Amino acid sequence: MSAVVIGASGGIGAALVCALAEEDVAARSFARSFAGADHLDLEREETIAAAAASLTGAPDLVVVATGLLHHDGLVPEKSMAALDAAWMARQYAVNAIGPALVAKHFLPRMPKTGRAVFAVLSARVGSIGDNRLGGWYGYRAAKAALNQLIRTLAIEDKRRNDRGIVVGLHPGTVDTDLSKPFSGNVRADQLFAPDRAAVQLLDVIDGLKAPDSGKLFAWDGAEITP
| Residue 27 confidence (pLDDT) above 80 | yes
CA 122 to chain centre: 5
Percent over 90 (pLDDT), the chain: 87
Q: What is the CATH number of the domain that holds 190?
A: 3.40.50.720
114-132 per-position pLDDT tens digit: 999 999 999 999 999 889 8
The pLDDT score that the predictor gives to residue 184 is: 66
Categorize the per-residue pLDDT at 182 as very low, low, confident or very high, splitting at 50, 70 and 90.
low
| Residue 78 confidence (pLDDT) above 70 | yes
What's the domain range around 20? 3-224
Categorize the per-residue pLDDT at 67 as very low, low, confident or very high, splitting at 50, 70 and 90.
very high
156-168 per-position pLDDT tens digit: 999 999 999 999 9
Q: Which of the two residues, 71 and 61, has the higher pLDDT score?
A: 61
The pLDDT score that the predictor gives to residue 178 is: 72
What pTM value is reported for the model? 0.94
Total number of domains constituting the chain = 1
Categorize the per-residue pLDDT at 183 as very low, low, confident or very high, splitting at 50, 70 and 90.
low
| Residue 113 confidence (pLDDT) above 80 | yes
Categorize the per-residue pLDDT at 180 as very low, low, confident or very high, splitting at 50, 70 and 90.
low
